[in-house]
Amino acid sequence: MRSQEKFLFNSAHLWCYPEGENVYSIGVSEFAQQSLGEIMYVELPDPDSEIVKDDSFGTIESPKVVNELYSPLSGIVLERNEALTDVPGRVNEAPYEDGWMLRIRLTGDTDLHDLMDSERYLAFVGKQ
């Protein structure tokens, strides 16, 4: 079970979670997946791709809308969650566990200080 205290969020409703030295997983927040509704499709970058903090790295589609995914961190994609290709609804079922999207290795001096901890994020979305 992941520790809630270690999750960090950006204002685009994506989370990041430390998995090891300079390795983070990234996914969509529970608030975002609830707002989108049933996730029908997820487009993610290939391994070895570079993603840049605050830039789009893919899309997520629901019956309501197609949304860009804006990265909370900069890094090189180590792995993408291939299971989301066949079962994108995993994002709805377990956004912080089986619904993860990417694992990346940080590049450069990525600043984590402008990301929100769980408490600040809940206040940001009006859940506290």
pLDDT band at 108 (very low <50, low <70, confident <90, very high): confident
pLDDT at position 82: 97
pLDDT band at 117 (very low <50, low <70, confident <90, very high): very high
Integer Cα distance of 33 and 29 in angstroms: 6
pLDDT at position 64: 85
The H or E element that residue 61 is part of is strand 56-61
Fold of 7-124: OB fold (Dihydrolipoamide Acetyltransferase, E2P) (2.40.50)
The answer for residues whose C-beta is within 8 angstroms of residue 3's C-beta and 6 or more apart is none
Alpha helices in the chain (DSSP H): 30-36, 83-86, 90-93, 118-124
- Answer whether 117's CB lies under 8 Å from 108's CB: no
Question: What's the start-to-end Cα distance of the chain, in Å?
Answer: 23
Three-class secondary structure of residue 93 per DSSP: helix
Count of other CB atoms within 10 angstroms of residue 102: 26
Integer Cα distance of 40 and 55 in angstroms: 22
pLDDT at position 112: 85
pLDDT at position 122: 92
- For residues 97-125, give the mean pLDDT: 91
pLDDT at position 3: 66
pLDDT at position 26: 98
pLDDT digits (tens, 9 = 90+) for 21-76: 899 999 999 999 999 999 999 999 999 999 999 999 999 999 989 999 999 999 99
